[in-house]
Amino acid sequence: MKTGKVYLIGAGPGDPGLITVKGASCLERADVIIYDFLASRKLLKYAREDAEVIYVGKRGGAHTVSQSEINNLIVEKAKAGLTVARLKGGDPFIFGRGGEEAEILVGEDILFEVVPGVTSAIAAPAYAGIPITHRKHTASVAFITGHEDPTKPGSNVNWKNIATGVGTLIFLMGVKNVDRITEKLIEHGRSPDTPVVLVRWGTTSKQTVISGKLSNIVQQVEDSGFKPPAVIVVGEVVRLRSVLNWFEKKPLFGKTVVVTRARAQASNLVERLEELGAECLEVPTIEVAPPEDLTPLDQAIENIGAYDWLVFGSVNGVRFFLDRLYAGGKDARDLGDLKLCAVGPATARRLKESGLRTDLMPETYKAESIVAEFRKEDMTGKRVLLPRPTGARPILPVELGKMGAIVDEIIAYRNEPVCHNLDELKELLKKNEIDLVTFTSSSTVKNFRKLFTEEEVRTLLPDLTVASIGPITADTARKLGFKVSVVPEEYTISGLCDAIERYYKKV
């Protein structure tokens, strides 16, 4: 059997957006992904559905799997002919034991590549507003382990040289030894007044920073109960944090937001919220799927020339309708003089991307507004096709029928209830670490509520803050007992994010 290949990939420091393009590409191709505690789990979105994903969490001294077991696992999978992605926090060759793993692979004659990652030694200070070099302050920087191999005789750290010969000192894995680090630096000539910061969970919304001097930072660490993982930065550049601190000023910094939208559609919402500084937990409560029986949809498309109006209430409606249109050998030309109505700019944009112009879009994006617009038209005898999801509200076909229209309502797609990351969600709710839950449809609200027992509703959900994309969804949420704090004026993802930002600026 041909031996596989191993990619030693740097996952970056925590912000999943800092993975390299090549790193993401390797994850997409991997048969097996072996990942650490410090590698963001969000990077697993790049994994193939059939990929084997193995957690070998290593946190300080507590290892789920020993290093020797990890080495054996990598070798075993590669010798089985598989492509292995070894995903390591930060950079694999900067205090990541990637060198040791590479040596094992060489000894086993296994082909490998190293994919460098953004190390926390650079990224954590940057996200804390600290440039580790600066022409006015320092021309040198050193990366030092704060946790040397306990089996080594003596120390490899030349304390005298780094204390007085290097401008900026970056210590990794040093929180538990911060007393020894500060003692050695002062003992070998560094001023006790030298500024110091510790950055915990750098580049994530959980980022925490404590500042001090060599003379008092140990006491501050003890008083605050500061825990690993953290990066220690020593040097005059630390003073620039008061001016350059940018990340912690984001409007949603430190907020954990639950996104219940279908995973296939959640990316725009998640990206925007993360850009505002939030940590997003995706708990999709619906999954969009084709109808169980495609015959009614296909028959409507076959007779598409008989209709006067085609009304789309969502991007999904457009997508599934056009998929079947093309599958039947038709294209946009077959729509002829058919007029198109779209609810919302995202739906209109999806039509435009397919070369289709929207004839009617209501000013507010709900069924009642469509009804109001059609009342301006003579709908007597007009044939209207409504490609809709299962469980859609009946107001549109009912009201159009009252206007004299002949309405064909067909199922274009299903909103199926799903459950992902529920254990993590409930654990965070128990710790009171969820700040906001977003709902983008009534289906997401109903399915979210079904995830909890009556006892859990009483204990976990009473004070939950909710943001709803529009008034219909908000009404559904209120009827189910949720307190809705955010409803945008514009019922779009962009409008929802803007409203959330305004809400947190007020509170």
Domain boundary assignment for the chain: 5-118, 122-249, 256-285+418-506, 290-417
CA distance 483 to 461: 10
pLDDT digits (tens, 9 = 90+) for 302-338: 999 999 999 999 999 999 999 999 999 999 899 988 9
Q: Give the chain's mean pLDDT.
A: 93
Instruction: Please state the rounded mean pLDDT for residues 447-454.
Output: 94
Residue 237's pLDDT is what? 98
114-142 pLDDT, tens digit per residue, is 999 999 999 999 999 999 999 999 999 99
> What are the tens digits of pLDDT across the range 36-53?
988 888 999 999 999 999
The confidence score (pLDDT) of residue 366 equals: 81
pLDDT of residue 293 exceeding 80, the answer is yes
User: What pLDDT is recorded for position 62?
Assistant: 53
Residue 36 bears catalytic tag:
yes
Per annotation, catalytic residue among 15, 36, 91, 435: 36
* 5, 173, 382, 435: the active-site residue: 173
Catalytic residue among 58, 77, 88, 255: 58
- The rounded distance, in Å, linking the Cα atoms of 217 and 195 is 9
pLDDT digits (tens, 9 = 90+) for 339-359: 999 998 989 999 999 999 999
Structure tokens at 132: 């580790």
Task: Examine the pLDDT at 253 and tell me if it is beyond 70.
Answer: yes
Tell me the CATH number of domain 122-249, given options 3.30.950.10, 1.10.1760.20, 3.30.70.260, 3.40.50.300. 3.30.950.10
Sheet of 195-200, strands arranged across: 141-145, 168-172, 230-234, 195-200, 208-213
What is the per-residue pLDDT for 420? 83
Please check whether the two domains, 122-249 and 290-417, share a CATH topology: no
Query: Is 149 an active-site residue?
Result: no
Instruction: List pLDDT tens digits, range 74-121.
Output: 999 999 999 999 999 999 999 989 999 999 999 999 999 999 999 999
Sheet containing 84-88, strands listed edge to edge, beginning at the edge strand earlier in sequence: 52-55, 32-35, 84-88, 5-10, 111-115
pLDDT at 507: 77
Q: Is the domain covering 290-417 a CATH 3.40.50.10090 domain? A: yes
C-alpha distance from residue 261 to each of 343, 475, 484 (Å): 18, 17, 17
Element (H, E) at 207: none
Amino acid 319: pLDDT: 94
Percent of the chain clearing pLDDT 90 (strictly above): 82
58 noted as active-site residue: yes
Reported confidence tier of residue 60, pLDDT bands at 50, 70, 90: low
Q: What is the per-residue pLDDT for 260?
A: 94
CATH 3.30.465.10 for domain 5-118, yes or no, is no
Q: What is the mean pLDDT of residues 57-86?
A: 86
CATH topology for the 256-285+418-506 domain? Rossmann fold (3.40.50)
pLDDT of amino acid 152: 62
Whether 406 has a pLDDT exceeding 70, the answer reads yes
Among the listed ranges 34-38, 170-174, 249-253, which one has the minimum average pLDDT value? Answer: 34-38
Type of residue at 288: V
